[in-house]
Structure 1
Amino acid sequence: MRHVGVDEASAGQRLDNFLLRLLKGVPKTHVYRLIRGGEVRVNKGRAAADTRLAAGDVVRVPPVRVAAAAPAPAVPAREFALLYEDEHLLAIDKPAGVAVHGGSGVSFGVIEQLRRARPGERFLELVHRLDKETSGILLLAKKRSALVRLQDQFRARDTDKVYAALVRGHWPARQRVIDLPLLRTLDAAGERHVRVVDAAHEQARRAITLVRPLERFGARADAPVACSLLDVTIKTGRTHQIRVHLAHGGHPILGDPKYGDFAWNRAWARGEVLAGVRFARMFLHARRLRFAHPATGQAVDLESPLPAECAALIDTLRGPTSA
């Protein structure tokens, strides 16, 4: 049995990710089994896989047999398009298809690549997360004080996060608020799944999503090309919240590989919906983020334009889409 202290570099990390890094070579399923069985303790108490660790916490780790780890692939240094930077924080325009951090079968992500590209930065941590398939504004802290203050704003819902989403079908013009509780579960491999549940469920977490329909495409709601461009604001930051809420309402996001309409996604990827038009990513883009600067308190309002492939699709849809 060993006891591992959590330093500042690991503060804010989930318990499962902390252990997966610590116990390299241990099968992921075994790590989750140790957590569920209560063999891993945080400050002498049982903890869930998604427990956020704080600096100074002590994690009790039971003895495990660690297999020889395969050499990890080298992390390439990479800078991303900057939207804002000062001595306290930076905001980047994350492309779709890039994870924000390593883990869950991903060797490295944005944070590892940025740290490699900026060896002189003494502190660099993610303030929040975006799904791998989602593009747009991602905020990082360059000081511990900035990280704490920004994460406090996110937890207190004092930030405004607006996403652009293209969904299947014609979104009802009067449906502006989705207030449906969500339940997050992990399968045996540690893969996250989220679904809408009854508010009476003991583990349900309230989730509120605001929807503003912007444009409808396709004259007939049942046509293959029928879709709607939405502005989506989340008032709570639940895992996969937007994707699950929109899909539950019968309007999945185009290209969503987990909660989407897979046949429709495949047809778009193959160019079978509109002749000569292929679209093979998830159309969810974090386009606006407003928050108070962690040092000055001044309002910061960041915007990210639609990626070229998303903007091109919208331009095409604005053409003749009567089919």
Structure 2
Amino acid sequence: MNREEPKVQFIKISDDIAGQRIDNFLRNRFKKVPSSMIYRILRKGRVRVNKKRIKPEYKLKNEDVIRLPPIKIQETMEVTVPNTNLEFVTRLEKCVVYEDDHILILNKPSGTAVHGGSGLCFGVIEAMRALRPYVRFLELVHRIDRDTSGILLIAKKRSVLRHLQVQFREKTVKKHYFALVMGNWKPTMCKVTAPLLKNEMNSIVRVNQSGKKCETRFKVLEQFEEATLVQATPITGRTHQIRVHAQYSGHPIAWDGRYGDQRFDAYTKQFGLSRLFLHAANIKFTHPVTEEKMDISAPMNKLLEGVIEGLRSCCS
């Protein structure tokens, strides 16, 4: 008996789904389909919204009409964690810094993508879904770069996700990062407002007057002979914002492969640094259910702490 072939589907978005990213919507709907395939069909334009091609970050609106192409799912596929990822998943469990019935907060390791795609089949959100199979809803509230470590906020309910996204849009969420930058950052340089423009072909971000308005506030935490530890607070949330604003100011972040300085990387290597020194250290927001003022911190790992100790030793 021949199995019926999958057909094109059209789905009208309701208000309770509005606000969700199209890539997250597809991953939830096709749980047995690898994330790499999801991003491939988006990239090729096989998924349409209101008859138009869309990008993975497109946020669905009420009454949007999605065209879903036929997707064949191998019957042998199971929603389980591949053996090669078991160690990775176990390690992430130890990175949870806060959890209740509504939200989960991780101290994400550097080098870990927040989701699959772009050649990766497994990321933080896929791992957390594997670790919490009994939780029906798990979605990223925001994102941080793969090489950036630190706080990552995940919602356990759609209502919680939407509430937190409103806080981000209204800029009531405060995030503080620690960054090691080249040279001596002047304490008087507290704010950078250079507009940023992203090249959609290669995802490189540059300062450009035709770009989007941005603001990052900086505070000197500690100065060394050839480096400065700063606290960076993004007021807006543009791609690579802190990294590009630091570069623009003449103080690129250590081990930034896109916007850094190889001479500074070579200098910091002697202290054991081998990764981007950018860490999401603290987040402040209002709990979407209890309305409690949340203030969550995530410590730097031993490698970054060791670099700071090494720099201090040079100054003494």
Calculate the TM-score normalised by the size of structure 1. 0.80
State how far apart, in whole Å, the 2-side matches of 1:246 and 1:14 are: 32
- Distance apart, 1:62 and its partner CA: 6.8
Equivalent residue number for residue 221 of structure 1: none
Matching of residue 245 in structure 1 with residue 272 in structure 2: no
Match of 1:2 among 1, 8, 23: 8
Deviation string, structure 1 residues 210-234 (Cα, Å, up to 9, x no partner): 001121111xxxxxxx010001111
Where structure 1 has 5 or more consecutive residues not aligned to the other structure, the ranges are: 219-225, 272-276
Amino acid of the structure 2 residue aligned with 1:197: N
Matching of residue 144 in structure 1 with residue 158 in structure 2: yes
Equivalent residue number for residue 305 of structure 1: 299
Equivalent residues of 2:36, 2:118 under 8 A apart: no
Amino acid of the structure 1 residue aligned with 2:204: H
Equivalent residue number for residue 292 of structure 1: 286
Match of 2:20 among 12, 24, 30: 12
Match of 1:154 among 164, 168, 185: 168
Where structure 2 has 5 or more consecutive residues not aligned to the other structure, the ranges are: 1-6
Within 5 Å, give how 1:19-38 maps onto structure 2.
28=40, 32=43, 34-35=44-45
SS in structure 2 at match of 1:233: strand
Equivalent residue number for residue 168 of structure 1: 182
Change (3 A) 1:14 1:238: farther
Identity of aligned residues (%): 39
- Distance apart, 1:307 and its partner CA: 1.6
Equivalent residue number for residue 108 of structure 1: 122
Equivalent residues of 1:161, 1:233 under 8 A apart: yes
State how far apart, in whole Å, the 1-side matches of 2:121 and 2:102 are: 27
SS in structure 2 at match of 1:186: coil
Equivalent residue number for residue 236 of structure 1: 236
- Distance apart, 1:297 and its partner CA: 1.5
Change (3 A) 1:183 1:15: farther
Amino acid of the structure 2 residue aligned with 1:51: Y
Calculate the aligned-residue CA RMSD, in Å.
Answer: 3.2
SS in structure 2 at match of 1:242: helix
Calculate the TM-score normalised by the size of structure 2. 0.81
Q: Which has the higher helix share?
A: 2
- Distance apart, 1:193 and its partner CA: 1.6
Equivalent residues of 2:35, 2:122 under 8 A apart: no
Change (3 A) 1:183 1:60: same
Equivalent residue number for residue 258 of structure 2: 258
- Distance apart, 1:57 and its partner CA: 3.7
Match of 1:209 among 197, 213, 216: 216
Matching of residue 320 in structure 1 with residue 311 in structure 2: no
Equivalent residues of 1:100, 1:111 under 8 A apart: yes
Change (3 A) 1:166 1:234: same
Number of aligned positions between the proteins:
293
Match of 1:195 among 183, 189, 206: 206
Amino acid of the structure 2 residue aligned with 1:300: M
Equivalent residues of 2:35, 2:116 under 8 A apart: no
Amino acid of the structure 2 residue aligned with 1:261: D
- Distance apart, 1:170 and its partner CA: 0.8
Change (3 A) 1:261 1:62: same
- Distance apart, 1:56 and its partner CA: 6.2
State how far apart, in whole Å, the 2-side matches of 1:26 and 1:262 are: 36
